[in-house]
Amino acid sequence: MAPRLPLALANERAVPEAELAIQPLLPQGSRVISSRWLSDQEAEIWVESRGGASPVIMRLNASGAWEQDMSATLARGASQMQTLAQQQTVNLPSGFGQTAPDQPAPPPVPSLLQTTQAASSLIPPVDREQETQRALSGAGRVDPFVPQNIRTPEPEIALPPLPPPPVLSPPGEGNGNGAPVAVATPVPTPTPDPAAFARSVQVSGIVQIGSESFALISGPGTVPSVVQAGQDYQTANVAGVSARERRVVLSEGGENVVKTMEDTTVIVGAP
């Protein structure tokens, strides 16, 4: 039940700016009951929440805005709880909570150490070795602390090392009985042709314009192009084009490939 506010508190001048500033901080279902000035920088706001009322201390900061003073609010709440506790103690009948003088005092409660010592004195001493043997025999296995139904890993079998491979005799020496021993001849690995693309180029025509010679060439999977000496064509370089000798020299992979065109028609342009 909410505490009844003093009449003097109700007649205090309210602080609407502080009430407006505390609204965003209130939980759902709470409302402001009243407010009053505590000093020129401090105000007390009473908030009702869940059937009870509690004070919240608000303080003006340096910029002139109201904000909650958490430490002052906690101190004000503790003081309010202490006051309520003292009021409830005063209203209790005299002698409440005290033992009547004609009643005997309750017997003392033994401590935990005394209770443990008394319990240990009731347990007869046992032989540890005898109890261990009894537990092992009753369990039916060597070690009762080893979990059952667990497959023991099989021991690893060390295999003897393999004998070294036989050494073959060189060709022509035989195997000691006069019979020749067959020796496999390694298959030679073919060396890739460094000028394979240059050898596959075909010349479709040669044109001479003045002192310059041009050739129309093409290769597998390439677009025919008109080239002259000094230009690159794919991976090959056009080392020379001679309309008079009807040939094109391609350089690739350090080799020069001469493509001679017997049936090529040479078109000679204006000098």
- pLDDT over threshold 60, residue 268: no
Q: Is the dihedral of CA 243, 247, 248, 254 positive or negative?
A: negative
Whole-prediction pTM value?
Answer: 0.32
Answer with the one of 89, 104, 139 that is the final residue of a domain. Answer: 89
- Is residue 219 included in any domain, yes or no? yes
Q: Which pLDDT score, from 0 to 100, does residue 1 have? A: 41
- Is residue 12 included in any domain, yes or no? yes
- Is residue 114 included in any domain, yes or no? no
- Is residue 146 included in any domain, yes or no? no
Share above pLDDT 90 across residues of the chain, in percent, rounded to a whole number = 25
Answer with the one of 89, 117, 140 that is the final residue of a domain. Answer: 89
- Is residue 166 included in any domain, yes or no? no
Q: What is the pLDDT of residues 57-84, one digit of tens each?
A: 999 999 999 998 988 888 887 787 777 7
Q: Identify the CATH number of the domain in which residue 259 sits.
A: 2.30.30.830
Domain holding 68, by residue range, is 7-89
- pLDDT over threshold 70, residue 239: yes
Answer with the one of 31, 57, 89 that is the final residue of a domain. Answer: 89
DSSP sequence for the chain: -PPPPPHHHHTSPP-HHHHHHHGGGSPTT-EEEEEEESSSSEEEEEEEETTEEEEEEEEE-TTS-EEE-HHHHHHHHHHHHHHHHHHHHHTSPTTTT---TTSPPPPPPPPHHHHHHHHHHHSPP--HHHHHHHHHHHHTSS-TTSPSS-PPPPPPP-PPPPPPPPPPPPTTS-SSSS-----PPPPPPPPPPTTHHHHH-EEEEEEEETTEEEEEEE-TTS--EEE-TT-EETTEEEEEEETTTTEEEEEETTEEEEEE-SSPPEEE---
User: Which has more confidence, 109 or 271?
Assistant: 109
Q: 91-100: long-range contacts at Cβ-Cβ below 8 A with a sequence spacing of 24 or more?
A: none
Q: Which pLDDT score, from 0 to 100, does residue 61 have? A: 92
- Is residue 110 included in any domain, yes or no? no
Lowest mean pLDDT among 23-27, 44-48, 118-122, 130-134: 118-122
Amino acid sitting at position 153: P
- Is residue 170 included in any domain, yes or no? no
Q: Which pLDDT score, from 0 to 100, does residue 262 have? A: 61
- Is residue 56 included in any domain, yes or no? yes
Q: What is the pLDDT of residues 168-200, one digit of tens each?
A: 666 655 555 656 566 667 777 888 999 999 999
What is the number of structural domains in the chain? 2
